[in-house]
Amino acid sequence: MSDTTSETTITDQTLDRGAILLLANKGQPVTLTGCEVEEVDLSDFILNGWVFDQCLFKKTKFTSAKLEQARFTSCKGAHADFTSTILIEAKFTGCDFNNALFRGATLTQAEFRRCKLTGANFNDARTLDIVFEECRLNDARLRGIAFNKQTLKQLDMHNAELQRCDFRDVVFEDCSLRDASLTDARFEGADLRGSDIGGVRLEDARRFKGATISKSQASELLSELGLHVR
């Protein structure tokens, strides 16, 4: 452990609630590298500006904690609980938080890049200007998130819940919406040519009104209706 007036760094340790609380009470950002903090209850902790590098958070509870401008890099946290957590301007890079809970979290200007978020639940989260890039979001719950006017790159949203999502004027690049639930989603002005839209049901195909699709995608949509383009 190295401790300076401005920064504390902990490396390769297993930490419990008491150890994290002791660090948090210093009131300064802490860097954890290669640490194990699994199945620990950190609810309501103030961890603003903390840096987590290659840490393990399986089933860790961050419920209602404050993690503004926190940085998670190459961390693993299956089933971690971020319910109602404050994650304003937080950054997740190269992380695996499959089946994590982000329900009701504040994710304003948060960024997720190259992350595995399979089955994660973002319902009821505050997501103004949230960024996802090169992420696995298959089977994730993303109801009501506004992506309008963004360029979405390499997002796998296969079988995701995208009800009421706002995709207006979005450009899709190497994405998948295959078998996603699109009830009440909006796509006016979107460019879907870079997205897999296979498996879209008739009622969901109507959501694409005003969007741009390719000829091959149009043929695929018609084939879902039992029609063939020759």
Query: In sequence order, what DSSP letters do the residues of 53-110 get, joined into one string?
Result: ES-B-TT-B-TT-B-TT-EEES-B-TT-B-TT-B-TT-EEES-B-TT-B-TT-B-TT-
pLDDT range class, residue 152, cuts 50, 70, 90: very high
Q: Do domains 1-116 and 142-230 have the same CATH topology?
A: yes
Structure confidence by residue, pLDDT tens digits, 26-53? 999 999 999 999 999 999 999 999 999 9
Residue 223 DSSP SS3: helix
Unique residue bearing structure tokens 């209602």: 64
CATH for the 1-116 domain, from 2.160.20.80, 1.20.970.10, 3.30.360.10, 2.40.30.10: 2.160.20.80
- Sign of the dihedral through C-alpha 26, 29, 31, 32: positive
Q: What is the pLDDT of residue 229?
A: 55
For the segment 56-67, the average pLDDT, to the nearest whole number, is 98
- What is the per-residue pLDDT for 156? 98
Runs of H (alpha helix) within 99-214: 202-205
pLDDT for position 154: 97
Give the CATH architecture of domain 142-230: 3 Solenoid (2.160)
Indicate whether 220 pLDDT > 80. no
Q: What is the pLDDT of residue 25?
A: 95
pLDDT over 60 at 1, yes or no = no
Helix (H, G, I), strand (E, B) or coil at 146: strand
Instruction: Extract long-range pairs of 210-218: CB within 8 Å, 24+ residues apart.
Output: 211/187, 217/192, 217/193
Percent helix, strand and coil across the chain, each rounded to 5? 10, 25, 65
**Cα→Cα distances 134→41, 110, 111, 148, 200, Å:** 30, 15, 11, 18, 22
Which of 3-7, 68-72, 189-193, 207-211 comes out lowest in average pLDDT? 3-7
Instruction: Using the predicted structure, report yes or no on whether residue 63 has a pLDDT greater than 70.
Output: yes
The answer on pLDDT for 206 being more than 80 is no
Q: Provide the residue ranges of all domains of the chain, joining segments of one domain with +.
A: 1-116, 142-230
**Of all residues in the chain, what percent carry a pLDDT higher than 70?**
91
Asked whether residue 202 carries a pLDDT value surpassing 60, the answer given is: no
**Weakest-pLDDT range from 19-23, 69-73, 113-117, 177-181:** 177-181
Give percent of the chain with pLDDT exceeding 90: 82
Q: What is the pTM of this model?
A: 0.90
Structure tokens at 79: 């089933």
* Alpha-carbon gap, residue 160 to 21, rounded angstroms: 36
